[in-house]
Amino acid sequence: MIDIEGIMSILPHRYPFLLVDRIVEMEPGSRIVGIKNVTLNEPFFQGHFPGKPVMPGVLMIEAMAQVGAVLLLKDIEDRDEKLALFAGIDEARFRRPVVPGDQIRFELEVLRKKATTAKLHGKATVDGEMACEATVMCALVDRKK
């Protein structure tokens, strides 16, 4: 539904911190599904962990939040003047390691949305198996150019 170029037109993140490759489903204002293809070329694998590469949990949560930010920013007219920042992370649980060659499917649902804040529940799965889940809160703030 949205390829990497479309994602880059919505999010300000860039390599090596853009952690979403594709959006495959979206119900504006309520639900989104994004994909991250995990490769050995990811810079964090050099140190996490040598000989046993595992994607850091905090980066899975970050990728989840980036997918949510696509949903929140997609239909905002002045999105180039906004940033979606973390306001909180609740109930984060990690169920299985994510390793090179995995494809993570992030599914997020909006729990609550106001003009400048939102709360979303997200799940990250690999081959249908839960890798992590969390509730993320974000704040939409003005970006100073």
pLDDT of residue 22: 98
pLDDT of residue 63: 98
pLDDT of residue 144: 82
- HSE-up of residue 81 (Cα within 13 Å, Cβ side): 4
pLDDT of residue 77: 87
pLDDT of residue 145: 60
Give me the catalytic one of 48, 96, 113, 119: 48
Say whether pLDDT at 106 is over 80.
Answer: yes
pLDDT digits (tens, 9 = 90+) for 26-62: 999 999 999 999 999 999 999 999 999 999 999 999 9
Interatomic CA distance for residues 127 and 7, integer angstroms: 23
pLDDT of residue 109: 98
Average pLDDT over residues 72-88: 93
Average pLDDT over residues 55-79: 96
Q: How long, in residues, is the chain? A: 145
Say whether pLDDT at 120 is over 90.
Answer: yes
Instruction: Work out the percent of the chain whose per-residue pLDDT is above 70.
Output: 99
Domains of the chain, by residue range, sit at 4-142
Catalytic annotation present for 13: no
For residue 48, give both structure tokens.
């996490």
Residue 85 carries which side chain, given as an amino acid letter? L
Contact 80, 141 (CB under 8 A): no
pLDDT of residue 36: 98
Give, in words, the CATH class of 4-142.
Answer: alpha beta
pLDDT of residue 91: 97
